[in-house]
Amino acid sequence: MSASTPSDPAIEYSVVIPFYNEETNVIPVLAELKAVLDRDPRTYEVILVNDGSSDGTLNQLKAVGSTWPAARIINLVQNAGQGAALFTGIKKALGRNVILLDGDGQNDPGDIAEALRLLGRYEFVVGHRVHRHDDLQRRLMSQFANHIRRIFTNDGVSDTGCGLKGFRREVSDAFIPMQTLYSFMPALAKAARFSIAEFPVNHRPRRSGVAKYNLRVFLWRPAVDLLGVCWFSRRRSRRVAAEEVAMAPAEEVSK
């Protein structure tokens, strides 16, 4: 696994958002986000990842990017899945902290401030959608998936499917590319001995468009990735602090 991109000390945090066929959501989602971030005196950047959309998502992202200097657009030429889009965006981020959001408008950007506050104490934070605005089928599938995941990973997190997550830059080295990376970030962070906190966040109905989730996304992909995460976590080396030893100058030998 390659090392993370070095952070830029001038950028205090990066916001990474993947988009797949969210043409009608791009403008309102990013307008709301910009209004929130521009009230924050801290420096930031926004990484907008187009995951091979087949609609006008990329054009909408370009329109936003042309008027928002803090925005960077990453285009995946074909649909690679949310996990791959997130992984790509994270590796491109330069901020000392990284915040993740979904591109459908269900995450409230007003919760970013609390995530950043908690990152002063913890290394990885994840939102908990206390009052979810999803249909019954999706809530039931999510509860089942969370229950199974907790049994096998013991990550201590009740809602890993929440799109709002945050972590310090160095935590990204714990992540591995997988289809359902968003669900297993806490388990991977815990396996690397990073500190984790969960906090309540606002959850809203989808603005427009349709959800990209189905039984295959909720059950099959996570089941396959769960096996990989369990194997990887049990074999991962423990984090150990390391420092370079300064060498004393060699003694001069008289002839």
Question: What tens-digit pLDDT sequence spans the chain (255 residues)?
Answer: 333 456 677 899 999 999 999 999 999 999 999 999 999 999 999 999 999 999 999 999 999 999 999 999 999 999 999 989 999 999 999 999 999 999 999 999 999 999 999 999 999 999 998 876 565 556 656 665 655 666 556 667 878 889 999 999 999 998 877 666 677 888 889 888 999 999 999 998 887 766 655 555 555 565 555 555 554 555 554 555 556 666 655 555 444
Q: Does any domain span residue 124?
A: yes
pLDDT at 175: 87
How many CA atoms lie within 13 Å of 246's alpha carbon, on the beta-carbon side? 2
pLDDT at 93: 97
Q: Does any domain span residue 249?
A: no
The pair of three-digit structure tokens given for residue 128, joined into one six-digit string: 């908990």
Q: Does any domain span residue 143?
A: yes
Handedness of CA 157, 210, 167, 218 (dihedral sign): positive
In angstroms, the CA 127 to CA 110 distance is 12
pLDDT at 224: 53
How many CA atoms lie within 13 Å of 145's alpha carbon, on the beta-carbon side? 28
In angstroms, the CA 71 to CA 27 distance is 13
Count of residues for the chain?
255
Comparing CA positions, the residue from 145, 128, 142 lying closest to residue 196 is 128
Q: What angle do CA 56, 102, 88 make, to 5 degrees?
A: 80
pLDDT at 145: 64
Indicate the helix (H) or strand (E) that contains 17: strand 13-19
pTM above 0.85, yes or no: no
Whichever domain contains 199, its CATH number is: 3.90.550.10
In angstroms, the CA 218 to CA 201 distance is 22
The residue behind tokens 């991962």 is 236
pLDDT at 92: 96
In angstroms, the CA 82 to CA 178 distance is 9
pLDDT at 4: 43
Q: Contact, 134 vs 60, CB < 8 A?
A: no
Q: Does any domain span residue 182?
A: yes
Bridge-based pairing of strands 71-76 and 124-129 is unpaired
Indicate the helix (H) or strand (E) that contains 51: strand 44-51
In total, how many domains does the chain have?
1
The pair of three-digit structure tokens given for residue 215, joined into one six-digit string: 């039984």
Q: Does any domain span residue 216?
A: yes
Q: Does any domain span residue 41?
A: yes
Q: Does any domain span residue 3?
A: no
Cα-only R_g, the chain? 20
Q: Does any domain span residue 254?
A: no
Domain boundaries, position 151:
13-235
The amino acid that residue 189 corresponds to is A
How many CA atoms lie within 13 Å of 173's alpha carbon, on the beta-carbon side? 16
Burial class (CB in 10 A: 0-12, 13-18, 19+), 78: exposed
